[in-house]
A and B are shown apart, each in its own frame.
Chain A
């Protein structure tokens, strides 16, 4: 197999759930070796629950959620409540380039694996802590998950219809944290290339979401006004909405960004009189008569297949695409042609569908080399192979539930 751009980098993770594990999963797609430290004493909840389907898994090695977020990794079982396990973890830190943890602030220090401890065994280590609100501040110990810190960051308030409550957000929020963590780690790696120096990075999920809404806060900063929910509307463009098509919950998104595109839409709808209609002659007018406009378009789309509508509109240079369900995405011809859905073989799950890495690199492609690890799958490889421990020693540690 070809090497990835991060070939040679070794990362040790002390993470669970989504935000920590997906950060290293991204780096693993890019060729870094990822060693996941976990334990039967406190199993990563994504090994047991899918919040998306409500499924609860009977054993820790059959979760497709865990599989999708921990591809390519190695797993070592270390019960960090045991001091000997902590010592083994330190030996791993000694031989890694990067470590990441996403425990509640203060916990990793109690365990004895905080940045100061890590630095003692590896002075140039790159150490990232990911938490809900950051390692400092009055909210550092807040109990929370993706929906709650998204709410604190301001995103739900501005999502949804004008006349309805704010929309909640789910796990994808964590994947944004994870992606930003991956960026931060790579930034520190470049600095290390320049200077040989490692460092500590304190990342806050709430701040990640706020950073992705930065411009929204400027409305308040400039004008003392907080933006409110506006459904699918845009300030400048109309039409800019989803319109019902035939079938169950099938909607097409349509945007007209200028008068040429408006002409295109009228052509596609075979309504040349609309192009002359003064109510819709320019963006300002279309915005002023939005309800009528939406109704006219809706009447046209409502008994058509959304793929046919998309084709008709795209042929006339109008931006249109279906709002895709999981089923639509899986069956979509474009995504099929692009190979976005892929199957990995998993010893317990069998064939598991996952989404391919989101970048195409020409020289050092991103790769899925294998499925996620079973819990402790690489104990021997890491303890005997990498750390050169005696197999008898490993047997003792396993018996005493230190390797556990």
Chain B
């Protein structure tokens, strides 16, 4: 019988959208028990965001919600009500970890500040994810992930390359600016959990999304401070190159890789120019532009598959720029079982569903259960676990508490 690494770990999630939920998903998929609180009626805002099957919006069929909330238990609760507040306290009493991403100040206003919750559960690890953190001149500023992506410097350096700066910098694709803070947060939460299991002591963890994103750019963000120029999106023009059926990405940081690449190109005369002899000059703007043009002339004759095969055979670091379709159908991803079958009461059976980025040999990743329907586990958690009888539950539902 395979074990779950985080068996016995109990987490309460009071979050919306992406960063908080991704943090708890990572732990839920490794066996932690995550109870996710959603607002009665509309639920997590992610339920409104696609992709949806057939492009038809449906709150139980949001691809974003389904992916971010695998393995969790779902309950509906409005903790802003009197009854809701009592239930929230009861839930907090039993867990190791609470994660929330409400606007700054809201938890305290609701009566859920750390000082209060610590009285109920001294060993609680409470984690607060805020756009700009809980202190500083921007602590009450409003931000969507698009704003924090730009305010952290992450989006300022995209797209690469931008040959001129007349167009605005762009956000990273997908929802990367929202996944990143969730990933950064989970490291501190897990370390605090490790500490708690030895010492019995909980603590309060504060994450600023801006700082979490900035930490991913930690190398680029200090160049100006240390006396060089700010890193610009006017980066090395050579890298992504058009070919017959799409784009490939070529990078040759070592000279022997460049030499192998020149050989692959058939030793063209232009490769003998001074401009292209050493890496330091190849990456300069004007040289990079010419290099790209020259290489594209060659690449347009071949498909991505051909270029990658020829290149890799000669130990040139080159890859295909993949679309979603390419990734889903990739031989490598298939062998690695990155996409696994998933069955969900609303969406039905999917042959492929994105899974995990690692293989644990003793405690493998598992899709413990599909993402919950709205309020799916109300009975199990409220009645069976908290001992609320069915009639009371019905009344609470009527009053919008659950």
Contacts and interface: CB of A to CB of B under 8 A. Distances in A.
B319 A204 contact: no
B249 A148 contact: yes
Interface residues of A, number: 154
A160 B249 contact: no
Nearest to B64: A215
Contacts of A61: none
A184 B214 CA distance: 22
Interface in B302-344: 312, 315-328, 330-333, 335-336, 338-339
Contact of B138 (A52, A200, A334): A334
Interface stretch (B36-44, B75-83, B129-137, B376-384): B129-137
B251 A183 contact: no
Nearest to B231: A52
11 contacts: A155-B176, A184-B358, A186-B187, A187-B30, A215-B67, A223-B53, A231-B168, A249-B232, A326-B224, A330-B225, A352-B222
Contact of B357 (A208, A243, A338, A340): A208
A139 interface: yes
Q: Is the interface of A mostly helix, strand, loop or mixed?
A: mixed
Interface string B54-65: 110000000110
Given A143-B317, A147-B251, A215-B68, A353 B219 contact: no
Which among B186, B204, B316, B356 has the greatest number of chain A C-beta atoms within 10 A?
A: B356
Interface stretch (A86-94, A313-321, A374-382, A392-400): A313-321
B50 A235 contact: yes
B54 A223 contact: yes
A224 B329 CA distance: 12
Which among A201, A214, A254, A320 has the greatest number of chain B C-beta atoms within 10 A?
A: A214
Contact of B144 (A65, A179, A257): A257
Nearest to A349: B226
B206 interface: yes
A30 interface: yes
B265 interface: no
A136 B331 CA distance: 11
Contacts of B321: 151, 156-157, 166
Contact of A358 (B212, B251, B315): B212
The 7 A-B pairs with the shortest beta carbon distances in the complex, nearest first, are: A158-B173, A218-B63, A167-B159, A5-B195, A326-B230, A353-B225, A363-B203
Contact of B147 (A175, A255, A341, A354): A255
Contacts of A191: 3, 5-6, 362-363
Contact of B208 (A7, A50, A338): A338
Contacts of B242: 165
B156 A324 contact: yes
Contact of B315 (A143, A183, A237, A364): A143
Which among B5, B220, B224, B356 has the greatest number of chain A C-beta atoms within 10 A?
A: B5
Contact of A64 (B133, B226, B356, B359): B226
Contact of A322 (B150, B183, B206, B253): B150
Contacts of A213: 173-174, 176
A381 to B, nearest CB: 25
Contacts of B257: 143
A34 interface: no
